[in-house]
A and B are shown apart, each in its own frame.
Chain A
Amino acid sequence: MATDKELNDFLEHVERRAFKQAVYAVRKEESALDIVQDAMIKLAEKYGDKPAAELPALFQRILQTTILDYFRREKVRNTWVTLFSGLKPGGDEHEDFELLDTYEAEQGSSAAESSADQVERAQILDLIDEEVQKLPARQREAFLMRYWQDMDVAETAEAMGCSEGSVKTHCSRATHTLAESLKAKGIKL
């Protein structure tokens, strides 16, 4: 049974990676923060009494479900927005572009203060980040859970709701896709 400290340490350990996972999926930082908060609360409320060893798999499962719920809500919301968009001049697309510009500027501003090497390294990290985001959703989930969240194949399969063979296939494809896309941009790891 996880103690308060164990649960707190676990959440502290995974919160940033969970946030990035959510950002990769939904591409909106504010929504990603909400998703991580929801997932953390669900884990604490419903599975706070589970052993600490079970927490990573449970949290990943909850996180994936919360992301799916977000997409379902967005789909419903977009249906209504589309229905009423004909009544007024559309400004939503323009707003999306502004958000994206702001995000990129924030990332660039911290690197701009550093030396040339650091800038180059930061740019490479950004490119890797972008390429991870571009991966097909299932491949990205499998890759991140296996190699970023340190989950084994069985845990990943359970969290993704698929077979262990599918997890291995997704991981292999993700690795090859990433390697090829980074190579195409002149980055060799």
Chain B
Amino acid sequence: MNTDDLNFAYKVRHALNEKLDDLPSSTTDRLAAARKAAMARKKADAPARAHVQGTVFAGVASQFFLAPRAWLGRMSVVIPLLLLVAGATGLYHFEQEQRIAELAELDAAVLSDELPLSAYMDHGFNTYLTQSAQ
């Protein structure tokens, strides 16, 4: 935008500002009332809000509601995680025990048999069995 354009724009601005003085009093009164209504509903400052919260839970109640709330929040995450880890570990151990018990049963069955294990490896004994069967 060149200087002439800027000058023109500021002359228009001046004219518009002059027009503002012609606004009827009913309009300016209404605008002032609107401003007051807006000011009455102004957002409270942040420190003021914190102060109000503190006074609502005064004394022992404030310690009960405010401080442990953060601790409870942390616990609500930590406790389920701990339960999950404990559950998974328990399940793993249970499965291991089951497997060991099954293997032990098999071993016990083999060991408690009448024939010793080395007998199955002896070819002469196999021949004896075959012949005695005939």
Contacts and interface: CB of A to CB of B under 8 A. Distances in A.
A147 B10 contact: yes
Given A7-B42, A125-B18, A175 B35 contact: no
A175 B8 contact: yes
Nearest to B30: A33
Interface of B is mostly: helix
A15 B37 CA distance: 13
B19 A125 contact: yes
Contact of A49 (B1, B12, B35, B45): B45
B44 A49 contact: yes
A19 B31 CA distance: 8
A54 interface: no
A47 B46 CA distance: 12
Interface string A161-182: 0000000100110011011000
Interface string A38-78: 00110111111100000000000000000000000000000
Given A128-B15, A172-B5, A20 B20 contact: yes
A7 B8 CA distance: 31
A107 B22 contact: yes
B110 interface: no
Which of B12, B18, B41, B44 has the most chain A CB atoms inside 10 A of its CB?
B12
B50 interface: no
A148 B16 contact: yes
B45 A128 contact: no
B42 to A, nearest CB: 4
B41 A175 contact: no
A8 B43 contact: no
Interface in B1-29: 1, 5, 8-13, 15-20, 22-24, 27-28
Given A1-B45, A7-B42, A33-B31, A178 B12 contact: yes
A36 B31 contact: yes
B78 interface: no
B22 A110 contact: yes
A178 B20 CA distance: 19
Interface of B: 1, 5, 8-13, 15-20, 22-24, 27-28, 30-32, 34-35, 37-39, 41-46
Given A8-B39, A146-B9, 10 more contacts: A11-B38, A15-B31, A16-B28, A33-B30, A33-B34, A36-B31, A40-B35, A44-B38, A45-B42, A125-B15
